[in-house]
Amino acid sequence: MAYFRKRLGKWQCVIRIKGYPTITKTFVVKKDAEIWAKNIELKYFREEIDILKIDYPLFKDCLIRYRDEITIHKRSKDMEDKLIKYLLKEPFVNLKLNMITNSIIAQYRDKALKCLQPSSVKRRLAIISHLFSIARKEWDFKIENPVLDINKPKLPDPRDRRFTERELKLLIYGNKTSEKLRSIIKIALETGMRVGEILRIKKEHINGQTLHIPLTKTKPRTIPLSKRALEILNNTKMPFTMSAMAVSKQFNKLCKFYKIQDGRFHDLRRQALTNFMIEKKLSVAEVMLISGHTDPRTLLNIYNNTKINDLIKKL
Protein backbone atom coordinates (compact mmCIF):
# COMPACT_ATOMS: atom_id res chain seq x y z
CA MET A 1 0.00 0.00 0.00
CA ALA A 2 2.80 2.41 0.92
CA TYR A 3 6.37 2.31 -0.27
CA PHE A 4 9.40 4.52 0.21
CA ARG A 5 12.14 5.66 -2.14
CA LYS A 6 15.13 7.91 -1.75
CA ARG A 7 15.24 10.89 -4.08
CA LEU A 8 17.75 13.76 -4.02
CA GLY A 9 18.87 12.88 -0.51
CA LYS A 10 15.31 12.78 0.90
CA TRP A 11 12.71 10.06 1.51
CA GLN A 12 9.58 10.08 -0.62
CA CYS A 13 6.52 8.12 0.51
CA VAL A 14 4.05 6.96 -2.12
CA ILE A 15 0.65 5.57 -1.10
CA ARG A 16 -1.43 3.77 -3.72
CA ILE A 17 -4.85 2.27 -2.97
CA LYS A 18 -7.07 0.96 -5.75
CA GLY A 19 -9.94 3.34 -6.39
CA TYR A 20 -8.28 6.29 -4.62
CA PRO A 21 -5.90 9.02 -5.83
CA THR A 22 -2.17 8.42 -5.37
CA ILE A 23 -0.67 10.44 -2.51
CA THR A 24 3.01 11.36 -2.26
CA LYS A 25 4.98 13.32 0.29
CA THR A 26 8.71 13.91 0.85
CA PHE A 27 10.52 13.80 4.22
CA VAL A 28 14.07 14.35 5.40
CA VAL A 29 13.93 11.41 7.84
CA LYS A 30 12.55 8.02 6.79
CA LYS A 31 10.90 7.46 10.21
CA ASP A 32 8.74 10.55 9.67
CA ALA A 33 7.65 9.15 6.30
CA GLU A 34 6.68 5.83 7.90
CA ILE A 35 4.61 7.53 10.60
CA TRP A 36 2.84 9.73 8.02
CA ALA A 37 2.08 6.69 5.84
CA LYS A 38 0.59 4.78 8.76
CA ASN A 39 -1.67 7.70 9.67
CA ILE A 40 -2.89 8.07 6.10
CA GLU A 41 -3.65 4.35 5.84
CA LEU A 42 -5.60 4.45 9.09
CA LYS A 43 -7.53 7.48 7.86
CA TYR A 44 -8.61 5.65 4.71
CA PHE A 45 -10.12 2.82 6.71
CA ARG A 46 -11.80 4.77 9.47
CA GLU A 47 -15.56 4.58 9.65
CA GLU A 48 -16.11 8.35 9.63
CA ILE A 49 -15.32 8.54 5.92
CA ASP A 50 -17.81 5.73 5.21
CA ILE A 51 -15.32 3.36 3.55
CA LEU A 52 -16.43 0.49 5.80
CA LYS A 53 -20.10 1.49 5.66
CA ILE A 54 -20.57 2.06 1.92
CA ASP A 55 -18.77 0.26 -0.87
CA TYR A 56 -18.65 3.03 -3.45
CA PRO A 57 -18.30 1.88 -7.07
CA LEU A 58 -15.67 3.17 -9.45
CA PHE A 59 -16.63 6.32 -11.30
CA LYS A 60 -16.07 4.36 -14.53
CA ASP A 61 -18.80 1.88 -13.57
CA CYS A 62 -21.15 4.73 -12.68
CA LEU A 63 -20.58 6.32 -16.10
CA ILE A 64 -21.43 3.04 -17.82
CA ARG A 65 -24.56 2.65 -15.69
CA TYR A 66 -25.56 6.25 -16.42
CA ARG A 67 -25.13 5.61 -20.16
CA ASP A 68 -27.22 2.44 -20.05
CA GLU A 69 -29.99 3.71 -17.76
CA ILE A 70 -30.21 7.49 -18.31
CA THR A 71 -28.58 8.48 -21.61
CA ILE A 72 -30.41 5.82 -23.59
CA HIS A 73 -33.72 7.63 -22.97
CA LYS A 74 -32.46 11.06 -24.08
CA ARG A 75 -33.13 12.58 -27.48
CA SER A 76 -29.43 13.45 -27.73
CA LYS A 77 -28.34 9.91 -26.79
CA ASP A 78 -26.03 9.43 -29.80
CA MET A 79 -24.01 12.55 -29.08
CA GLU A 80 -23.95 11.94 -25.32
CA ASP A 81 -22.85 8.35 -25.86
CA LYS A 82 -19.82 9.65 -27.79
CA LEU A 83 -18.96 12.10 -25.01
CA ILE A 84 -19.16 9.33 -22.41
CA LYS A 85 -16.75 7.23 -24.50
CA TYR A 86 -14.29 10.15 -24.36
CA LEU A 87 -14.74 10.49 -20.59
CA LEU A 88 -14.13 6.76 -20.05
CA LYS A 89 -10.61 7.25 -21.46
CA GLU A 90 -9.69 9.72 -18.71
CA PRO A 91 -7.48 8.42 -15.83
CA PHE A 92 -9.69 9.84 -13.06
CA VAL A 93 -12.59 7.51 -13.95
CA ASN A 94 -10.69 4.69 -12.20
CA LEU A 95 -11.21 6.42 -8.86
CA LYS A 96 -14.12 5.52 -6.62
CA LEU A 97 -17.19 7.72 -6.89
CA ASN A 98 -16.72 9.34 -3.47
CA MET A 99 -13.11 10.22 -4.28
CA ILE A 100 -14.01 12.45 -7.24
CA THR A 101 -13.44 15.89 -5.73
CA ASN A 102 -13.89 19.39 -7.10
CA SER A 103 -10.09 19.59 -7.37
CA ILE A 104 -9.98 16.52 -9.65
CA ILE A 105 -12.80 17.89 -11.82
CA ALA A 106 -11.07 21.28 -12.03
CA GLN A 107 -7.84 19.58 -13.16
CA TYR A 108 -9.79 17.70 -15.84
CA ARG A 109 -11.43 20.97 -16.96
CA ASP A 110 -8.07 22.73 -17.34
CA LYS A 111 -6.57 19.79 -19.20
CA ALA A 112 -9.57 19.51 -21.57
CA LEU A 113 -9.57 23.24 -22.34
CA LYS A 114 -6.10 22.89 -23.86
CA CYS A 115 -7.47 20.84 -26.77
CA LEU A 116 -11.25 21.42 -26.76
CA GLN A 117 -13.58 24.39 -27.16
CA PRO A 118 -15.17 25.73 -23.93
CA SER A 119 -18.62 24.62 -25.15
CA SER A 120 -17.35 21.03 -25.62
CA VAL A 121 -15.83 20.97 -22.13
CA LYS A 122 -19.03 22.38 -20.67
CA ARG A 123 -21.06 19.56 -22.25
CA ARG A 124 -18.78 16.96 -20.69
CA LEU A 125 -19.02 18.65 -17.29
CA ALA A 126 -22.82 18.67 -17.63
CA ILE A 127 -22.81 14.88 -18.01
CA ILE A 128 -20.62 14.47 -14.92
CA SER A 129 -22.82 16.86 -12.94
CA HIS A 130 -26.04 15.07 -13.91
CA LEU A 131 -24.47 11.72 -13.05
CA PHE A 132 -23.75 12.92 -9.51
CA SER A 133 -27.31 14.24 -9.18
CA ILE A 134 -28.72 10.88 -10.29
CA ALA A 135 -26.35 9.00 -7.98
CA ARG A 136 -27.51 11.06 -5.01
CA LYS A 137 -31.22 11.18 -5.80
CA GLU A 138 -31.86 7.75 -7.32
CA TRP A 139 -28.90 5.47 -6.56
CA ASP A 140 -28.84 6.30 -2.84
CA PHE A 141 -25.20 7.41 -2.60
CA LYS A 142 -24.52 10.07 0.01
CA ILE A 143 -22.25 12.31 -2.04
CA GLU A 144 -21.93 15.94 -3.05
CA ASN A 145 -21.77 17.15 -6.64
CA PRO A 146 -18.16 18.34 -7.22
CA VAL A 147 -19.02 20.06 -10.51
CA LEU A 148 -21.14 22.63 -8.66
CA ASP A 149 -18.09 23.87 -6.76
CA ILE A 150 -15.86 24.73 -9.73
CA ASN A 151 -15.86 27.58 -12.23
CA LYS A 152 -17.39 26.60 -15.56
CA PRO A 153 -15.53 27.39 -18.79
CA LYS A 154 -16.33 30.84 -20.09
CA LEU A 155 -18.15 30.58 -23.40
CA PRO A 156 -17.24 32.90 -26.27
CA ASP A 157 -19.60 35.69 -27.30
CA PRO A 158 -22.71 34.46 -29.15
CA ARG A 159 -22.42 34.25 -32.92
CA ASP A 160 -24.02 37.09 -34.87
CA ARG A 161 -23.30 35.81 -38.39
CA ARG A 162 -25.83 37.17 -40.88
CA PHE A 163 -25.78 36.07 -44.53
CA THR A 164 -25.85 38.76 -47.20
CA GLU A 165 -28.36 38.67 -50.06
CA ARG A 166 -25.58 37.63 -52.43
CA GLU A 167 -24.55 34.74 -50.18
CA LEU A 168 -28.14 33.51 -49.85
CA LYS A 169 -28.62 33.59 -53.62
CA LEU A 170 -25.50 31.48 -54.07
CA LEU A 171 -26.58 28.99 -51.43
CA ILE A 172 -30.12 28.62 -52.77
CA TYR A 173 -29.80 29.06 -56.51
CA GLY A 174 -26.19 28.06 -57.13
CA ASN A 175 -25.49 25.11 -59.44
CA LYS A 176 -23.62 23.26 -56.69
CA THR A 177 -26.69 23.14 -54.39
CA SER A 178 -28.75 19.94 -54.59
CA GLU A 179 -32.53 20.19 -54.92
CA LYS A 180 -33.04 18.58 -51.53
CA LEU A 181 -30.64 20.91 -49.71
CA ARG A 182 -32.12 23.88 -51.57
CA SER A 183 -35.57 23.04 -50.11
CA ILE A 184 -34.15 22.58 -46.62
CA ILE A 185 -32.43 25.98 -46.73
CA LYS A 186 -35.62 27.68 -47.95
CA ILE A 187 -37.69 26.07 -45.16
CA ALA A 188 -35.13 27.14 -42.55
CA LEU A 189 -35.26 30.77 -43.73
CA GLU A 190 -39.07 30.83 -43.86
CA THR A 191 -39.79 29.08 -40.55
CA GLY A 192 -36.72 29.47 -38.33
CA MET A 193 -36.86 25.74 -37.54
CA ARG A 194 -33.89 23.69 -36.37
CA VAL A 195 -32.36 21.27 -38.85
CA GLY A 196 -33.60 18.21 -36.93
CA GLU A 197 -37.14 19.59 -36.89
CA ILE A 198 -37.05 20.23 -40.63
CA LEU A 199 -35.85 16.71 -41.43
CA ARG A 200 -38.79 15.19 -39.51
CA ILE A 201 -41.58 17.16 -41.24
CA LYS A 202 -44.36 14.99 -42.69
CA LYS A 203 -47.28 16.06 -44.87
CA GLU A 204 -49.77 15.13 -42.14
CA HIS A 205 -48.13 17.70 -39.83
CA ILE A 206 -49.46 20.50 -42.05
CA ASN A 207 -52.95 21.68 -41.09
CA GLY A 208 -54.22 24.65 -43.07
CA GLN A 209 -51.63 27.39 -42.58
CA THR A 210 -50.01 25.84 -39.49
CA LEU A 211 -47.36 23.20 -38.99
CA HIS A 212 -47.26 20.90 -35.98
CA ILE A 213 -43.76 19.98 -34.77
CA PRO A 214 -44.18 16.93 -32.49
CA LEU A 215 -40.52 16.30 -31.68
CA THR A 216 -38.43 19.33 -30.70
CA LYS A 217 -35.52 20.27 -28.44
CA THR A 218 -37.94 21.32 -25.69
CA LYS A 219 -41.62 20.47 -26.19
CA PRO A 220 -44.02 20.01 -29.14
CA ARG A 221 -45.29 23.21 -30.74
CA THR A 222 -47.45 24.42 -33.59
CA ILE A 223 -46.21 27.31 -35.71
CA PRO A 224 -47.91 29.56 -38.28
CA LEU A 225 -46.74 29.33 -41.89
CA SER A 226 -46.27 32.17 -44.33
CA LYS A 227 -47.71 31.69 -47.82
CA ARG A 228 -44.18 31.23 -49.10
CA ALA A 229 -43.41 28.56 -46.46
CA LEU A 230 -46.67 26.71 -47.21
CA GLU A 231 -45.89 26.75 -50.92
CA ILE A 232 -42.41 25.31 -50.35
CA LEU A 233 -43.71 22.56 -48.07
CA ASN A 234 -46.52 21.55 -50.45
CA ASN A 235 -44.05 21.27 -53.35
CA THR A 236 -41.42 19.30 -51.44
CA LYS A 237 -41.15 15.55 -50.98
CA MET A 238 -41.04 14.81 -47.24
CA PRO A 239 -39.76 13.56 -44.89
CA PHE A 240 -36.18 14.18 -45.95
CA THR A 241 -33.98 11.09 -46.08
CA MET A 242 -30.93 12.84 -44.62
CA SER A 243 -29.30 13.10 -41.24
CA ALA A 244 -28.57 16.40 -39.51
CA MET A 245 -24.85 15.62 -39.79
CA ALA A 246 -25.18 15.11 -43.55
CA VAL A 247 -26.99 18.44 -43.95
CA SER A 248 -24.29 20.22 -41.94
CA LYS A 249 -21.48 18.66 -43.98
CA GLN A 250 -23.13 19.49 -47.31
CA PHE A 251 -23.82 23.05 -46.18
CA ASN A 252 -20.20 23.51 -45.11
CA LYS A 253 -19.01 22.22 -48.49
CA LEU A 254 -21.30 24.72 -50.22
CA CYS A 255 -19.90 27.59 -48.17
CA LYS A 256 -16.36 26.50 -49.00
CA PHE A 257 -17.18 26.15 -52.71
CA TYR A 258 -18.87 29.58 -52.90
CA LYS A 259 -16.13 31.11 -50.68
CA ILE A 260 -18.60 32.08 -47.96
CA GLN A 261 -16.58 32.63 -44.81
CA ASP A 262 -17.67 31.36 -41.37
CA GLY A 263 -21.10 30.11 -42.41
CA ARG A 264 -23.01 27.42 -40.51
CA PHE A 265 -26.43 25.93 -41.12
CA HIS A 266 -27.75 27.04 -37.72
CA ASP A 267 -27.03 30.64 -38.75
CA LEU A 268 -30.09 30.33 -41.03
CA ARG A 269 -32.33 29.85 -37.99
CA ARG A 270 -30.76 32.87 -36.31
CA GLN A 271 -31.24 34.91 -39.47
CA ALA A 272 -34.88 33.84 -39.88
CA LEU A 273 -35.82 34.66 -36.27
CA THR A 274 -34.05 38.01 -36.51
CA ASN A 275 -35.92 38.78 -39.73
CA PHE A 276 -39.22 38.04 -37.98
CA MET A 277 -38.40 40.86 -35.56
CA ILE A 278 -36.81 43.35 -37.96
CA GLU A 279 -38.75 42.84 -41.18
CA LYS A 280 -42.03 41.27 -40.02
CA LYS A 281 -42.15 43.51 -36.91
CA LEU A 282 -43.05 40.60 -34.63
CA SER A 283 -42.58 40.99 -30.88
CA VAL A 284 -40.25 38.82 -28.82
CA ALA A 285 -43.26 36.96 -27.36
CA GLU A 286 -44.61 36.24 -30.84
CA VAL A 287 -41.26 35.00 -32.11
CA MET A 288 -40.93 32.76 -29.02
CA LEU A 289 -44.13 30.95 -30.08
CA ILE A 290 -42.54 30.23 -33.44
CA SER A 291 -39.02 29.39 -32.24
CA GLY A 292 -39.97 27.36 -29.17
CA HIS A 293 -37.70 29.31 -26.80
CA THR A 294 -38.77 29.49 -23.16
CA ASP A 295 -36.41 32.32 -22.19
CA PRO A 296 -36.75 35.67 -24.00
CA ARG A 297 -33.14 36.51 -23.17
CA THR A 298 -31.98 33.85 -25.65
CA LEU A 299 -33.70 35.72 -28.45
CA LEU A 300 -32.57 39.14 -27.28
CA ASN A 301 -28.94 38.14 -26.68
CA ILE A 302 -28.31 35.70 -29.49
CA TYR A 303 -30.89 35.79 -32.24
CA ASN A 304 -31.92 39.43 -32.38
CA ASN A 305 -28.63 40.55 -33.93
CA THR A 306 -29.95 43.91 -35.05
CA LYS A 307 -27.29 45.79 -36.95
CA ILE A 308 -26.39 49.45 -36.51
CA ASN A 309 -27.54 50.12 -40.09
CA ASP A 310 -31.01 48.80 -39.23
CA LEU A 311 -31.25 51.31 -36.40
CA ILE A 312 -29.99 54.13 -38.63
CA LYS A 313 -32.81 53.41 -41.11
CA LYS A 314 -35.36 53.64 -38.31
CA LEU A 315 -33.92 56.92 -37.06
From first to last of its 315 residues, the chain has per-residue pLDDT tens of: 787 888 888 899 988 877 667 888 899 888 988 888 888 877 776 644 554 456 789 999 999 999 999 999 887 888 899 999 999 999 999 999 988 999 999 999 999 999 999 999 999 999 999 999 999 999 988 888 999 989 999 887 777 788 999 999 999 998 888 899 999 999 999 999 999 999 999 999 999 999 999 888 778 899 999 999 999 999 888 889 888 889 999 999 999 999 999 999 999 999 999 889 888 888 888 999 898 888 888 877 766 666 666 667 777
Nearest to 71 by CA among 287, 63, 87: 63
CB-based contact 268:188 (threshold 8 Å)? yes
**CA angle, 67 then 70 then 71, to 5°:** 55
Nearest to 192 by CA among 169, 171, 221, 234: 221
DSSP 22: -
Q: In the sheet that 10-15 helps form, which strands lie side by side, from edge to edge?
A: 2-7, 10-15, 23-27
Cα 164 to Cα 182: distance, rounded to the nearest angstrom? 17
Cα 225 to Cα 222: distance, rounded to the nearest angstrom? 10
Amino acid at 236: T
